[in-house]
């Protein structure tokens, strides 16, 4: 009987460690995506002709506006990723929202730079999954804070 409890605890500890690794990776990935967004935003501001607009797109936005949108999203993603790596529950919640905003922004940015946008959307979806798979039980077990 005692061995069964030991096995359960060991399995639970492995699950907790795995979940913590996934959420740390999500935080790092969110910072990386934020840096990518910053680079895309700076590129749009510095060289407007770098991004070519497709004709007849339903969501036509000025390239300069896209530059500022990417810069703001990039900064927010970096700050959120930092909070996630610090183990803040609020940062995980905000991280999911920011990844959704980033994915939607990149969906709207598809005609300007399709391959880049699809890559960013894929990374955002992975971040959403990683932050949702990590639960409160693991956070408490690892001694991570649940407040802001």
**What pLDDT is attached to residue 102?**
92
What pLDDT is stored for residue 4 in this prediction? Answer: 52
Average pLDDT rounded to a whole number, residues 87-111: 89
Q: Measuring CA to CA, how many Å separate 6 from each of 9, 78, 145?
A: 5, 40, 26
pLDDT at residue 100, as a whole number: 95
Sorted by sequence, the CB contacts under 8 Å of residue 25 that are 6+ apart come out as 130
**pLDDT score of 72 more than 90:** yes
């Amino acid at each position: 009987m005692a061995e069964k409890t030991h096995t359960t605890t060991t399995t639970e500890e492995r699950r907790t460690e795995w979940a913590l690794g996934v959420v740390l990776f999500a935080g790092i990935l969110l910072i990386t995506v934020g840096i990518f967004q910053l680079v895309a935003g700076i590129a749009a501001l510095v060289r407007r002709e770098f991004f070519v607009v497709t004709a007849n797109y339903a969501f036509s936005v000025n390239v300069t506006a896209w530059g500022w949108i990417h810069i703001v999203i990039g900064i927010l993603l970096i700050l959120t990723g930092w909070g996630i790596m610090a183990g803040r529950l609020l940062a995980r919640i905000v991280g999911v929202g920011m990844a959704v905003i980033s994915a939607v922004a990149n969906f709207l940015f598809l005609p300007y730079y399709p391959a880049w946008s699809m890559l960013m959307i894929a990374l955002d979806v992975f971040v959403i999954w990683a932050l949702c798979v990590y639960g409160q039980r693991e956070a408490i077990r690892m001694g991570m804070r649940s407040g802001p």
